[in-house]
Chains A and B, each alone.
Chain A
Amino acid sequence: MALDRWIALIFITFCCAYGYLAFFTMDQLLPPFMQRNPVWPSTFPKVLSILGVIVGLIVLLGLEKQTDASEPSATEINYRRLHEYKLGQALMLLGLMVAYALALRPVGFLLGTTLFLIAGSAVLGERKWHIMIPVAMIATGCVWYLVQQVLGIFLRPFPFFMGI
């Protein structure tokens, strides 16, 4: 089964779960005075879940005739040959983003961002440390200055043990 149909199947399952919540759990919490309204908080989700299942089934069963899938061009991604691409790098960068998200508060903006930028280019195969480190530090400093001083949004600059 092609990936788009798997996604359709997952979508239908999701719509069923969503529909279950809408049909069977939401209305019990509704105060009696609101029950006299013609439209309830669950009305729209109910309609959506039914529509979603219908459209999902159309994709899943291939009822809409597909145009013949041509081989993607060199710049497009063919997921069937995903292993031929730089999947490792992509996954590592995603991991790096998660790590950045978790570390941003405790480590502080300046250190966290500098490390993120250096690690990011290192993951991509860059090894010219004498360029990477100054570039990352200057860029971090500029962004911090712009966000904090010009836009006036607070970003904790230093690690948690340094107080601010």
Chain B
Amino acid sequence: MLEGIMIGLSAAFSIQNLLMVIAGCLIGTFIGMLPGLGPMSIIAIMIPVAITLGDPTAALILLAGVYYGAIFGGSTSSILLNAPGVAGTVATSFDGYPMARKGQAGKALTIAAVASFAGGTIGAILLMIFAPALSSVALLFHSAEYFALMVVGLSAIAAFAGTGQVAKALMMTILGLILATVGEGALFNMPRFTLGLMDLQSGISFITLAMAMFALPEAMFLVLNPARGASGAEAGSGKITNLRFSREEAKAMAPVIGRQSVQGFFIGVLPGAGATIASFLGYAVERNIAKGEEQAEFGKGSVKGLAAPETANNAACTGSFVPLLTLGIPGSGTTAILLGALIALNVTPGPRLMTDTPEVFWAVIISMFIGNLVLLILNLPLIPYIAKILAIPRNYLIPFILFFTLMGAYIGQNNATELLILVGLGVMATILRFADYPLAPLLIGFILGTMLEDNFARSMQLYRGLDFVIERPMTLGLLVLALLLVLLPSYRARRARKRAEGVADGD
């Protein structure tokens, strides 16, 4: 492990990669601040750039930097505007915005930055401990277990989608899996579902799909409802002064940061949970354990209430790298996009990543430390200037977002038909969002689809049929777990409803 850390250090501290971290963090902060553009859209837009870099280490470092920057930028717009750019920073606005209203915007931003830094750094340390351990377990896995594990991942994502959403999320997952079967599969060398069209021969490009699922609907929503990105001008012109917080406040924050980094990390590891759930849960937990006066402060500009979600969401972002780096299975939309980028660069994340390409694995982890440091010491002083971007009129912003979306799809394929596919899929995605269908499961399904089928086919061939389910107890266990994950939420909802009906009847 020590050797790996050394390799990672030397790779991460090369001039090129240091520049990548800094560039990634800055770009991420810059764009993440714009209301309505989440980390998924930004990473999707950045992928063509990352892929043309050619070096997987640099690409992954750049994208990870963008990811952190976006979360950090999202908290800035939550605090200054009460308009979270990212779902994971909604909880930040609960206490951050009241604080900014009191004229303490500078302090709120500093607390957010320190909390993010601590969450991210502690998360990265935990990642260093747990990822190698999990990798060594994962090396024992065969294709049957991988198949089962992916089924667990996909059903967990659906199960965490929220009450009344499980079936919809499953539907989107299946749609993603279906889209993945289009084109020529590696296993069979025969075109499937191309409808005789040459353009579908190589399948649907995942960058196009990612853009169509996230960037385009967001832009359309911004166009449809100007209120979505409103009130930008007022904050951009406001002064942000006095970035300091007091010693007492630091003392109050410290235990919160400690607890939430660990909790956030482990929530982030779970597939489908991620930064949003971690930040809300972190906020709720801290409010419940705070006493008397402090509890009353929550929601009115509490230091603890700001530190908790900020720590938790950054720790969760780091945690979500664990399943990606050790199992090669993304647990969130963002890591799914990262996985797609890695595959495009000929790196297959998984348990062998640590032994085959240690420089990628460790450089990414080391760059997380650097990234967090960059956010703290470089971005924080720049925030008053970066916040000016919030004052860019939407009439200029939206055409540029659309243009970058188109460019991303075009550069990847150099094919104008791809742009038409992008617009078509984008319209479909916008309609799906109107009807409240979650889109992340679709993309995760699409990216896992090929791997899922490959592993399934391989285990079928090894065991000449479905026997592997019985002969490998771990596979069976995982599949049962997947089934439970899907069925439990609806069972619990049903029971809660029964109980509520009983009360109504006077029971």
Contacts and interface: CB of A to CB of B under 8 A. Distances in A.
A147 B223 contact: no
- Categorize the interface residue count of chain A: 35 or more
Nearest to B454: A44
A75 B497 CA distance: 31
Interface in B26-65: 49, 52
B416 A105 contact: yes
Contact of B164 (A29, A65, A89): A65
B178 A93 contact: no
Interface stretch (B14-22, B111-119, B166-174, B197-205): B166-174
Interface of A: 2-4, 6-8, 11, 15, 18, 21, 26, 29, 34, 37-39, 41, 43-45, 48-49, 51-52, 55-56, 58-59, 63-67, 74-77, 79, 82, 85-87, 89-90, 93-94, 97-98, 100-102, 104-105, 113, 116-117, 119-121, 124-126, 132, 135, 139, 143, 147, 151-154
Interface residues of B, number: 68
A65 B225 contact: no
Contacts of B393: 126
B457 A45 contact: no
A55 B170 contact: yes
For the complex of A and B, the 7 pairs showing the least CB-CB separation, nearest first, are: A120-B399, A101-B419, A79-B434, A126-B395, A4-B435, A85-B224, A39-B460
B13 interface: no
B447 to A, nearest CB: 15
B476 interface: no
A64 B490 contact: yes
A57 B142 CA distance: 34
Contacts of B284: none
B167 A55 contact: yes
B435 A7 contact: yes
Interface stretch (B187-195, B266-274, B285-293, B315-323): B187-195
A104 to B, nearest CB: 5
A101 B423 contact: yes
A41 B399 contact: no
A98 B410 contact: no
A63 B223 contact: no
A125 to B, nearest CB: 6
Contacts of B416: 101-102, 104-105
Contacts of B193: 18, 21, 45
A23 to B, nearest CB: 13
A4 B187 CA distance: 35
